[in-house]
Amino acid sequence: RALFYNDKIKIELQPNSIIFNCLNEYISWDIYKIEIEKVLSQLSKAVVIEAYNRVGVRYISEYPDIDLKDCVKFSFTFGMPEIVSDTYSFHSEFKLDSLRIILNLNNKLPVLSPKNSTSLLSITPISNIDIDVIMENITLSDYKELLVCIERTHMKEKEVFFNLLNDNFLASLNPIY
């Protein structure tokens, strides 16, 4: 159930989970982190959490009508190099600096979306980059220690994201480091 909700973020408590979500668009880590800190501070004062045992930071970027081959340093090939896939889903899990990274690249997947204000539907190709960075097997009781872990996973997510993008696409995003 929702614990906190405003026009930018939603925070939910679920069994063994606290979930923080941006509602529409990404609001910048500096703003988002402050909201996370506020909630964790309040939960700490209420003494409702015994320990934190896992941290996950996930970032999903959607790109309508964009081909990932124009954005990322990744090419999808298989035993028949003459075949070029227009639509694909790629999933990889790996360890990096003791963190588990789950990377999903989806290229030009057809999504049903409103065509205009008259509610007509059309199929739009959507590409997305989905990066989940997970710190597991921890036992923390102090929320301030948890914030350090959240920051570390966020920095690793950012590193994977920026290193995945090609230079031209990265420059077009006007990133803040």
Using pLDDT thresholds of 50, 70 and 90, give the confidence band for residue 72. very high
Angle at 19 between CA 17 and CA 20, to 5 degrees: 155
Distance CA 87, CA 105 (A): 10
Asked which of 95-109, 110-124, 142-156 is least confident by mean pLDDT, the reply is: 110-124
pTM for the predicted model, two decimal places? 0.87
How high is the pLDDT of residue 88?
Answer: 93
For 79-114, the pLDDT digits (tens) are: 888 888 889 999 999 999 999 999 999 999 999 887
